[in-house]
Amino acid sequence: MTRTAFLAALEQLLAPLPESERKDALSYYEDYLDAAGPENEARAIAELGSPEEVARKILDEQSPQGASAAPASPAPRSRWRMVLGGGLAVLVLACFFFQHSKATPVQPVEPASSAADSSSVPEEASSSYLAVLADTVPLTIPADDLGESTLQIPLEKLDQELKLSLNYGSVTFVTDPSLTSDKYATFQFDNFPHSPVLRTTGGDGRTTLTFEMPENWQVAEDAPEAMLTVTIPADALTRLLISLETGDVRLAPMQLKTLTVALTNGSLRAENLTVTRDLLIELPAGKCMIDHLSIAEYASIAATYCIRLHLDGDPADYTTDARTDDVVRIGNKEYDKRYTSSGSNGTLNLYAKGLIYLNVDEQRPA
Amino acid sequence: MSFPISAALLDAIVLSVVAQEPEGTYGYKITQQVTHTLELSESTLYPVLRRLQKDQLLTVYDAPFNGRNRRYYQITSAGREQLAAYAQEWSRYRSSIDTFFREVE
């Protein structure tokens, strides 16, 4: 497109504007092409895009609703639903901010490990709460200001890797086929504060969901438990990484190549879990209970309280190193502090302060 | 992969590019400088410059260049104040976003 044709088209397209605005824009682009110089003119015109595009940007800016600069429009407060399939790199899905301001970050309280019995502890011991630094006043989020949201992500966006990183709330995986679409994984957030869930999707089947409690906020003590429920086919994921600061994780039967679970204050429960390459579990203030675990290569589980596993086959068939401050019980035998074995079924490293039970229930009389 | 650039951020970037030239600078040069660093369409800049001019954060004057008048943009003192505020806000925003990536390997 020649300079003359470009400017003529632009002038026509800007007809809706007041004359002074139109003249200003035209003189800007005349200037622009002068400055580019005759030798760069064709390239400069091509880079600007079509006159329609150039004009649309100018008209958008003029129209009152056009400015994309405007702060996020007010959103429904309590319920939001989105189905997103696009390939956007990062989407801040929902930015519902309370009118509160900020101060120091919320700090998870250190687990009361000194007080904790090193043997198995009751369920409630793994629950946790948020506190703030002493010199700040926490802004409490009332229980009725917690909301729900549902997000659907196409399975191909996460078939290589799904990473969940939440500093508040628990996570449950559901693989009930009757609940599962074969195209989307559903992420249901219940009782979460209305602050952004950050979603990062690579074009390569990797998705990360991050939730961070806004600075200096805490949830009211009577708040219902925050829970992210992920509904997904049992074999949809290859790598799953879950990192939580306050909550627990419960996994439905599923098959994975790699599973990493790191819970600062929580426990892990799973059933019929198959991990063909690496299983890494770190529970510095929790316990680990896996009803039926099948590993092929490597598993490392560290839990402060106790580990209870039902392994596929005899623990002696694995290369096992199980260490505890208490006892390792395998079937009806007890080993003080440590149990090792060398087998060909894969490597199993276990460490707990409390009891380690391997295949105990299987040995019970029916 | 790219992150969308908000209009406020774009305003701040353009202000800072113009601020680097106390004598003033012109549309083509500003566009080249910004698009050199950011993936942005060249036609994005005019509406931004026009908006900043209307908000009196930039001022324009014409000066002859090669036998023709060229329009120059200069930052105003209000523009400098706004730029300082943007810079501060950006640094706050950046550190809050960085908290998400603290543990990314």
Is A150:A230 a contact under the CB 8 Å cutoff? no
Is B34:B48 a contact under the CB 8 Å cutoff? no
Residue of B nearest to A166 (CA): B100
Question: Per-residue pLDDT tens for A111-140?
Answer: 333 333 333 333 333 333 333 333 344 556
Mean pLDDT of chain A: 76
pTM for the whole structure: 0.50
Is A353:A118 a contact under the CB 8 Å cutoff? yes
Q: Do A35 and B27 touch (CB under 8 A)?
A: yes
Is A42:A50 a contact under the CB 8 Å cutoff? no
In whole angstroms, give the CA distance from residue A244 to residue A237.
19
| Helices and strands in chain A: count of H runs, count of E runs | 4, 25
Q: Could you read off the pLDDT tens digit of each residue along chain A, which spans 366 residues?
A: 889 999 999 999 998 888 999 999 999 999 999 999 888 899 999 999 999 999 998 988 776 543 333 333 333 333 332 333 333 333 333 333 333 333 333 333 333 333 333 333 333 333 333 333 333 445 566 666 677 778 888 888 888 899 999 988 999 998 866 655 578 888 888 888 776 677 777 767 888 888 887 766 777 777 888 899 998 888 889 999 999 998 999 999 999 999 999 999 999 999 999 999 999 999 988 999 998 999 988 999 999 889 999 998 888 999 999 999 889 999 888 999 999 999 888 899 999 988 999 988 644 444
Mean pLDDT of chain B: 90
Residue of A nearest to B28 (CA): A32
Exposed / middle / buried, residue A84 (Cβ in 10 Å: 0-12, 13-18, 19+): middle
**What integer pLDDT is reported at residue A215 of this predicted model?**
67
**What integer pLDDT is reported at residue A119 of this predicted model?**
38
**What integer pLDDT is reported at residue A177 of this predicted model?**
63
pLDDT at residue B25 is higher than 90: yes
From chain B, the residues in CB contact with A212 under 8 A are: 99-100
The partner residue sitting opposite A53, judged by closest CB among B43, B50, B103, is B43
pLDDT at residue B74 is higher than 90: yes
In whole angstroms, give the CA distance from residue B90 to residue B77.
20
Helix residue ranges, H only, A14-133: 19-36, 41-48, 51-62
Interface test with B, best of A32, A50, A104 (most B CBs within 10 A): A32
Cβ-Cβ contacts under 8 Å for B61 (sequence gap 6 or more): B24, B71, B72, B74
**What integer pLDDT is reported at residue A351 of this predicted model?**
92
Q: Do B46 and A198 touch (CB under 8 A)?
A: no
ipTM > 0.85 for the complex: yes
**What integer pLDDT is reported at residue A139 of this predicted model?**
59
A to B CB pairs, distance under 8 Å: 79
Is B82:B15 a contact under the CB 8 Å cutoff? yes
- CA triple A97-A98-A102, angle to 5 deg: 90
Residue of A nearest to B62 (CA): A31
**Residue among B60, B62, B50, B49 nearest B17 (CA):** B49
Nearest-neighbour CA in chain A from B22: distance (Å) = 19
Residue of A nearest to B31 (CA): A32
For A312, the token pair is 């596929």
**Residue among A174, A3, A150, A181 nearest A84 (CA):** A150
Which sequence spans correspond to the domains of chain B?
Answer: 7-100
Most confident of A79-83, A357-361, B3-7, B48-52: B48-52
**What integer pLDDT is reported at residue A142 of this predicted model?**
63
**What integer pLDDT is reported at residue A162 of this predicted model?**
93
- CA triple A26-A29-A30, angle to 5 deg: 85
CATH number, span B7-100: 1.10.10.10
From chain B, the residues in CB contact with A165 under 8 A are: 100, 103
Q: Which residues pair with B81 in a beta bridge?
A: none
Nearest-neighbour CA in chain B from A21: distance (Å) = 9
From chain A, the residues in CB contact with B2 under 8 A are: 89
**What integer pLDDT is reported at residue A181 of this predicted model?**
56
